[in-house]
């Protein structure tokens, strides 16, 4: 910004000087100003392009070069074929291996979260590292803008790598505490109701289902990590607006009845719970007892809703159901509007109104990546303004 102002100052001085002496200088300054402004806008617009550079370079070097998700079952396969497919994949997927009896994973968690962490955050990423793009990085970036003294562990085999280190390096270099760790799934479910389910899956007695197994394993891992360690779990398609330090033993309603004002669906994309909380035990029990790997949402938001509906009036659960505005102020049907540039005065007023409302009552906005991943974040849109206002890396880049 200082360089831009310098160009402007020189430009104005040239205008005030005799034309016959300064026409060349005026031309040079004009061209320089245009070039610099274009460069500055390019830096701001493409502040996360280093993610694409990392992906391209690692593919050339042969690191994580295969972008295929190993947990996607064959299309249109029978139950028997899916089980055979998983048995073959099991030999190569590190996620299902317990690496030591004392658990290296447990020691890594214990060493990472210390007294300097104001909030203990977890995310799960079971897709290839190449898929961790600008949207996902924006979620992590916004978390540290809202919670600079929080600590984040991303449970991910693919990001627990040289490529993952390079993706997260800008945040680590900025002094923020973030690390990717391969989860030890057998250790996480040990002595929980889900332990028997995992044994059945590994032994070939459980159908992994027709939808990507990574989605259902993500549902399981988030429940197990909170049950074992407590803290905050967040999906990687949130833009975080506020520190979670004031929330505990809470989960968000995704929708409410306009008539009864009661929740109609709970979503586990954002959860805050104490270690060993009884409702987490019930979630794990429901996962094991009712698992269906061929129904979207059955082991995720529908599971959470089923359990809470059964226990919310019982004594001892001490769980707060937060209103939709806390995490889901825009539902998945309407979220597309947040990505569009305001083209009318009415649209612009809506963007300004939403910015005020979100800052006042929303902790994090879920952007429904499955719905919006193909949408472009247009300049001036609500989403573009939120991301720009709630990031630390972009602010750092804009100053260079």
How far apart CA 144 and CA 393 sit, in angstroms, is: 10
Task: Return per-residue pLDDT of the chain as tens, 400 residues.
Answer: 444 444 444 444 544 455 444 445 445 444 454 444 344 344 434 444 445 444 444 443 434 445 578 899 999 999 999 999 999 998 888 888 776 655 789 999 999 999 999 999 999 999 999 999 999 999 999 999 999 999 999 999 999 999 999 999 999 999 999 999 999 999 999 999 999 999 999 999 999 999 999 999 999 999 999 999 999 999 999 999 999 998 999 999 999 999 999 999 999 999 999 999 999 999 999 999 999 999 999 999 999 999 999 999 899 999 999 999 999 999 999 999 999 999 999 999 999 999 999 999 999 999 999 899 999 999 999 999 999 999 999 855 433 3
Beta bridge partners of 234: 270
Number of other residues whose CB lies within 10 A of the CB of residue 194: 26
Listed residues 286, 310, 325: the one ending a domain? 325
User: In this structure, are residues 225 and 109 in contact, taking their beta carbons and an 8 Å threshold?
Assistant: no
Asked, for residue 386, whether it belongs to a domain, the answer is: no
> In Å, how far are 24, 41, 44, 45, 237 from 32, measured between CA atoms?
12, 14, 18, 20, 40
Percentage helix, strand, coil for the chain under 3-state DSSP, each rounded to 5: 50, 10, 35
How far apart CA 276 and CA 258 sit, in angstroms, is: 34
Note down the domain range covering 86. 78-325
CATH number of 219's domain: 3.90.550
Looking at residue 92, what is its pLDDT?
Answer: 83
Quote the Cα angle for 368-373-376, to 5°. Answer: 115
| pTM of structure | 0.83
Pair 100, 178 in one domain = yes
User: In this structure, are residues 338 and 382 in contact, taking their beta carbons and an 8 Å threshold?
Assistant: yes
Asked, for residue 55, whether it belongs to a domain, the answer is: no
Looking at residue 46, what is its pLDDT?
Answer: 46
Pair 31, 95 in one domain = no
Looking at residue 290, what is its pLDDT?
Answer: 98
The single-letter DSSP state of residue 392 is: S
How far apart CA 206 and CA 193 sit, in angstroms, is: 15
Element spanning 178, H or E: strand 177-181
Looking at residue 69, what is its pLDDT?
Answer: 80
Asked, for residue 344, whether it belongs to a domain, the answer is: no
Looking at residue 104, what is its pLDDT?
Answer: 86
As given in the structure block, the two tokens for residue 179 are 């690390």
How far apart CA 187 and CA 227 sit, in angstroms, is: 12
| Residue 298 neighbours by CB under 8 Å, 6+ apart | 290, 292
Looking at residue 394, what is its pLDDT?
Answer: 80
Pair 30, 144 in one domain = no
Asked, for residue 73, whether it belongs to a domain, the answer is: no
- The number of domains in the chain is 2
Pair 227, 87 in one domain = yes
Pair 270, 182 in one domain = yes
Pair 109, 36 in one domain = no
């Amino acid at each position: 910004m200082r360089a831009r102002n310098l160009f402007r100052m020189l430009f104005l001085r040239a205008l005030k000087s005799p034309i016959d002496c300064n026409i060349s200088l005026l031309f040079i300054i004009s061209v320089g100003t245009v070039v610099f402004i274009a460069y500055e806008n390019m830096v701001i617009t493409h502040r996360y392009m280093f993610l694409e550079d990392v992906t391209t370079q690692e593919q050339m070097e042969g690191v994580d070069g295969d972008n295929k998700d190993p947990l996607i079952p064959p299309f249109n396969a029978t139950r028997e074929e899916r089980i055979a497919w998983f048995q073959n994949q099991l030999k190569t997927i590190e996620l299902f291996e317990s690496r030591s009896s004392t658990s290296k994973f447990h020691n890594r968690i214990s060493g990472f979260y210390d007294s300097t962490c104001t909030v203990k955050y977890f995310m799960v990423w079971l897709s290839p590292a190449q898929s961790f793009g600008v949207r996902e990085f924006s979620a992590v970036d916004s978390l540290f803008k809202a919670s600079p003294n929080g600590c984040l562990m991303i449970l991910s085999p693919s990001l627990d790598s040289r490529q993952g280190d390079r993706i997260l390096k800008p945040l680590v270099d900025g002094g923020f505490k973030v690390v990717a760790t391969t989860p030890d799934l057998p250790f996480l479910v040990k002595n929980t109701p889900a332990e028997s389910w995992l044994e059945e899956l590994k032994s070939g007695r459980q159908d992994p289902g027709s939808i990507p197994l990574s989605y259902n394993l993500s549902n399981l891992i988030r429940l197990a990590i909170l049950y074992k360690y407590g803290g905050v779990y967040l999906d990687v398609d949130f833009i975080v607006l506020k520190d979670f330090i004031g929330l505990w033993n809470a989960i968000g309603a995704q929708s409410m009845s306009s008539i009864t004002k009661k929740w109609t669906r709970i979503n586990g994309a954002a959860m805050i719970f104490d270690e060993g909380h009884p409702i987490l035990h019930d979630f794990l029990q429901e996962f094991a007892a009712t698992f269906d790997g061929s129904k979207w949402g059955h082991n995720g938001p529908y599971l959470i809703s089923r359990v809470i509906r059964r226990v919310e009036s019982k004594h001892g659960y001490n769980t707060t159901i937060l209103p939709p505005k806390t995490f889901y102020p825009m539902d998945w049907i309407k979220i597309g509007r947040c990505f569009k540039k305001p083209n009318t005065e009415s649209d612009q007023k809506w963007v300004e109104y939403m910015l005020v409302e979100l800052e006042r009552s929303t902790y994090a906005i879920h952007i429904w990546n499955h719905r919006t991943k193909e949408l472009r974040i247009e300049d001036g849109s609500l989403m573009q303004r939120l991301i720009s206002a709630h990031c630390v890396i972009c602010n750092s880049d804009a100053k260079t």
